[in-house]
């Protein structure tokens, strides 16, 4: 990641032409080649930008960024105040829901809380269309694919359906069935899960964490 703070003017030529007059701005060049020019305001949207793939020709006080469509972004640097680079490395991605990941971890540690007799084969079981949250075996030795969600909705059941289809392609696995697990499951998702031949289980996150709430409860 290269960050340049400079007094600059920018010209874009492509489907239309646009001109940013001379002012102090942040020019961001990302490792994948994306170039973005930011003002000191607004959360995320640059004043102008060019997505990767593109080529950046740095001629000192004049940068020319060209993409395969022939569009060009010309940045004229009048005065550079700061020019720093940092290696950020691979990004782990946006973790949208910490509870969901933790729930998966807790269930992997204690698969019997999903169903009696269940043993874990692998967490994040790889398939060509993405990893299955948990793959287990039941007491009879059947393969059980488990999809874990915080809130169980129809799209989670659809996801489990796709995984089961993938697992069916591997004849060495034998009989495969699906279990849909969530803290709470919407009635429509339950109906769909049952219609697809899956079982569904609601689990208590606090109980899995071994938390005894301070508040006394009736049940």
Which residues are at the interface with other proteins (CB under 8 A)? 151, 183-187, 190, 214-219
Find the shortest distance in angstroms from Cβ 182 to other proteins. 10
Which of 69/116 has CB closer to other proteins? 116
- Reduced to 3 states (helix: H, G, I; strand: E, B; else coil), residue 156 is helix
Find the shortest distance in angstroms from Cβ 148 to other proteins. 15
Which of 111/152 has CB closer to other proteins? 152
Strand extents, DSSP E, 109-216: 119-125, 132-137, 143-152, 176-185, 199-202
- C-alpha count within 13 angstroms, C-beta hemisphere, residue 189: 25
C-alpha span between 90 and 18 (Å, rounded): 33
Which of 44/219 has CB closer to other proteins? 219
Find the shortest distance in angstroms from Cβ 155 to other proteins. 10
Which of 170/207 has CB closer to other proteins? 207
- C-alpha count within 13 angstroms, C-beta hemisphere, residue 45: 2
Find the shortest distance in angstroms from Cβ 153 to other proteins. 10
Which of 48/104 has CB closer to other proteins? 104
Find the shortest distance in angstroms from Cβ 187 to other proteins. 5
C-alpha span between 169 and 152 (Å, rounded): 26
- C-alpha count within 13 angstroms, C-beta hemisphere, residue 132: 31
In terms of DSSP bridges, do strands 176-185 and 199-202 run parallel, antiparallel, or are they unpaired?
parallel
Taking alpha carbons only, the member of 76, 83, 73 closest to residue 62 is: 76
């Amino acid at each position: 990641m290269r960050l340049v703070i400079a007094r600059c003017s920018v010209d874009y030529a492509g489907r239309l032409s646009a001109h940013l007059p001379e002012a102090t701005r942040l020019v961001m060049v990302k490792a994948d080649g994306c170039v973005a020019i930011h003002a000191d305001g607004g959360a995320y949207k640059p004043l102008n930008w060019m997505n990767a793939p593109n080529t950046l020709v740095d001629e000192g006080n004049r940068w020319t960024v060209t993409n395969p469509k022939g569009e060009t972004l010309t940045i004229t640097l009048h005065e550079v105040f700061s020019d720093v680079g940092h290696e950020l490395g691979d990004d782990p991605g946006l973790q949208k829901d910490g509870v969901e990941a933790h729930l998966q971890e807790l269930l992997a540690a204690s698969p019997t809380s999903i169903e009696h007799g269940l043993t874990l084969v692998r967490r994040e079981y790889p398939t060509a269309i993405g990893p299955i949250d948990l793959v287990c075996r039941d007491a009879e030795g059947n393969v059980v694919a488990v999809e874990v969600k915080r809130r169980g909705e129809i799209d989670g059941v659809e996801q489990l359906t796709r995984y089961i289809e993938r697992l069916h392609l591997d004849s060495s696995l034998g009989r495969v069935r699906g279990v849909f697990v969530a803290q709470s499951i919407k009635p429509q998702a339950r109906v769909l899960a049952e219609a697809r031949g899956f079982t569904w289980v609601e689990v208590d996150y606090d109980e899995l964490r071994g938390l005894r709430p301070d508040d006394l409860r009736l049940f």
